[in-house]
A and B are shown apart, each in its own frame.
Chain A
Amino acid sequence: MLDLGLYNYWVVIFLMMTGLYVVISRGNLIKKVIGLNIFQVSVIMFYVSMGKVRGGTAPILAEGIEVYSNPLPHVLMLTAIVVGVATSAVALALIVRIKEAYGTIEEDEIRVVEGEEEAR
């Protein structure tokens, strides 16, 4: 039986596996980076989920509210998002250079070019 009370964790696992699968199975570098992003997002959702306190609101001080969600994981994820963006940026920059050097961003085609160079 699936425990639907923890459905967000199932979403996390689903996304994580999707991302991992894309990274492993796709030869297109852009798609790989997308897979990597999905993978990272799943972890972000994981953190956000665990910060949630049942019945709690957003952690903003206000009259009459006593239960807040845990703000710390949310803050941590701000950093993680930044890291993710930076990673994507570096990856895309590298892909642009690869496209210039090889004329393709498909891994198997790159391998062909490299093999030819090796043979020479």
Chain B
Amino acid sequence: MIEAVWALIGDDLPALQIAVPLLAATVCVLVRRPRAAWAVAMLVAWSAFANAAVILHRVLTTGTISYFEGGWPVPWGIELRIDLLNALVLLVVTGICAIVLLAAPRSLAAEVPEEKHYLFYAVYLLCMTGLAGMTVTGDAFNVFVFLEISSLSSYALISQGRTPRALTSAIQYLVMGTLGGTFILLGIGMLYMTTGTLNIVDLASRLAMVGPNRTVLVALACITVGTGIKLALFPLHIWLPNAYTYAPAVVTAFIAATATKVAYYVLVRFVYSIFQVSLAFEVNRLDAVLLPVSIAAMFAGSLVAIYQDDLKRMLAYSSLAQIGYMVLGLALANVNGLTGGLVHIFNHAIMKCGLFLVLAAVLLRTGSTRLSAFAGLGRRMPLTFAAFVVGGLSLIGVPLTVGFVSKWYLVLGALDAGLWPVAVLILASSLLAVVYVWRVVEVGWFAEPPADAPEVAEAPLGLLVPIWILIGATLFFGVFTSLSAGVASAAARMLIGGAA
């Protein structure tokens, strides 16, 4: 039986990553009952996660997977192409989708009216479709299409927040996001203009033949700006703090851990697979733009985070800083640096998602995510608070957490590139993380809750389980790094070696 099924779908796994959530989204709308819709979403998300794991395993054992949609061979058809890089990203995206769904029912109940839940799950699956599609596709225009699918659904998800400010945040994101998407489209158009192809592998080989010219430079600029907006690279980040702050808590956890990561993946894919090191860095000096910008992001994000009263906003600004680390890794253009950037996709996703879920739990129990809500949390919600402390330590980059692994590679990359002041700056900015994390820890540890505060119980299991899966993962992958850092460094070597 299983073998029969396997024979049927075994070769179509990459396509299933897109098709199944897309169809399931409509199923969610049809079933209408919140519980049933949730069950459908869970089934789809967890099987997508398992699927991603199988795909990663296959890529590791047999090499890059290439799949022709509808059986049309390239360059006519659309290719799905999965190598080490996007296999890892796919695993992160589907994994986060699945784990956040565990927390969704309890957390949503407090924020979104129940009659809208089935729609929420439908849109959630659409967003997942878009993100997975962007990740697996081997076609540049397809990237744009899936980007818009994920963006449109994330606007809808964000607008579900409790306050009207969710609406204004969503429209702000919509305007910025559409500009970003259109810039990407423009850049892809210019690439098509110069090469006459949209397939990423073809693009790479033909661009290398065409060599440097003005159109290629403008295409690179457009794509960098476009993805820069989508991944909220300072100073194109205006949409992010509001969107993260006012979206429902689970949505924040989901988007923070996936949307920006996939946008970063797109940038890496374009820069390293299509333009490749010679065009992007040696001819066009992309690093001269991205290095200062990413360092500015590291400091601006962390500095602003220190002064935030709303912890969702604080973590949002911390995300800006972390995005700075990732882009810095890209801009260093050596194996260690890029490994740091890529492994941070994985690492930052699990720790930030865990931290945002902690806030979801605090919001559920105390009704607020302000700093004052943390008063006495160490005694009132010890397990939740402990999760925050561990996640925070990981943000700082303390050894045996995942944050350390990323930072280690980034520092090595900076030293490799001969940029030791950059290495110092990376470490100095982690000190800012100490400040904004410890501010919260101090309140949770010492401050007494106000006398009239209602009794607060520990978070429900529905939230504690996903929180501790993620926080446990930050510890586990901080020690056993072969999955995260091993794959990331192999991917980095592949990308820098030039073989797409």
Assuming A83-B145, A101-B164, is B174 touching A94 (CB within 8 A)?
Answer: yes
Given A79-B145, A86-B152: A95 in contact with B171 (beta carbons within 8 A): yes
User: Which of B159, B181, B185 has most A Cβ within 10 Å?
Assistant: B185
Q: Which residues of A contact B164 (CB under 8 A)?
A: 98, 101-102
Q: Is the CB of B170 within 8 A of A94?
A: yes
Q: Within B169-191, which residues are at the interface with A (CB < 8 Å)? A: 170-171, 174-175, 178-179, 181-182, 185-186, 189
* B152 and A23 within 8 A (CB): no
B167 contact from A46, A47, A80, A101, Cβ within 8 A: A101
With A39-B182, A40-B182, A79-B145 in contact, is A50–B193 under 8 Å at CB? yes
Q: Mark A15-41, 1 if CB is under 8 A from B, else 0.
A: 000001001000001001100100110
Contacts of A47 in B (CB 8 A): 189
Chain A residues with CB under 8 A of B145: 79, 83
Looking at chain A's contact residues, the main secondary structure is helix
| Nearest CB of B to A92, in Å | 10
Decide if B152 touches A87 in the complex (CB within 8 Å): yes
Q: Which residue of A lies closest to B159 (CB)?
A: A94
| Residue A62 at the chain B interface, CB threshold 8 Å | no
Least Cβ–Cβ distance between B197 and chain A, in angstroms:
10
CA distance A36 to B177 in the complex (A): 11
Is B189 a contact partner of A46 (Cβ separation < 8 A)?
A: yes
Which residues in window 35-77 of A have CB below 8 A to B?
36, 39-40, 43, 46-47, 50, 72-73, 76
Which one, A23, A110, A114, contacts B175 given CB within 8 A?
A23
Any A CB within 8 A of the CB of B143: no
Do residues A90 and B156 form an inter-chain contact, with CB atoms below 8 A?
yes
Question: In the complex the two chains form, what is the Cα distance from A63 to B192 in whole Å?
Answer: 29
Q: Is B168 engaged at the interface, CB distance under 8 Å to the other chain?
A: yes
Q: What's the minimum C-beta distance from B142 to chain A, rounded to whole angstroms?
A: 10
Q: Which residues of A contact B299 (CB under 8 A)?
A: none
**Are A97 and B159 in contact, with the CB atoms below 8 A?**
yes
Name the residue in A32, A40, A43, A101 with the highest tally of chain B Cβ atoms < 10 Å from its Cβ.
A43
Which chain B residue lies CB-closest to A47? Answer: B189
In the complex, A83→B142 CA distance in Å?
A: 12
Complex Cα spacing A84 to B178, Å: 9
In the complex, the answer to whether A90 meets B186 with C-beta atoms within 8 Å is: no
Using known A-B contacts A80-B185, A83-B145, determine if residue A114 contacts B152 with beta carbons closer than 8 Å. no
Q: Is the CB of B192 within 8 A of A73?
A: yes
Query: What distance in Å separates the Cβ of A120 from its nearest Cβ neighbour in chain B?
Result: 12
A33 and B172 CA atoms in complex are apart in Å by: 11
Cβ of B155 < 8 Å from any Cβ of A? Answer: yes
Question: Assuming the A-B contacts A29-B171, A95-B171, A98-B171, are A90 and B152 also in contact, with contact meaning beta carbons closer than 8 angstroms in the complex?
Answer: yes
Name the contact of B165 in the complex, choosing from A72, A79, A114 (C-beta under 8 A): A114
CA distance A76 to B193 in the complex (A): 13
Q: Which residues of A contact B156 (CB under 8 A)?
A: 90
User: In the complex, how many angstroms separate the beta carbon of B434 from the nearest chain A beta carbon?
Assistant: 29
* Inter-subunit contact B168/A87 (CB<8 Å): no
A83 touches B189 (CB 8 A): no
Given contacts A36-B178, A43-B186, A101-B164, contact A94 B141 (CB under 8 A): no
Measuring CB to CB, which residues of chain A are less than 8 angstroms from any residue of chain B?
20, 23, 29, 32-33, 36, 39-40, 43, 46-47, 50, 72-73, 76, 79-80, 83, 86-87, 90-91, 94-95, 97-98, 101-102, 110, 114
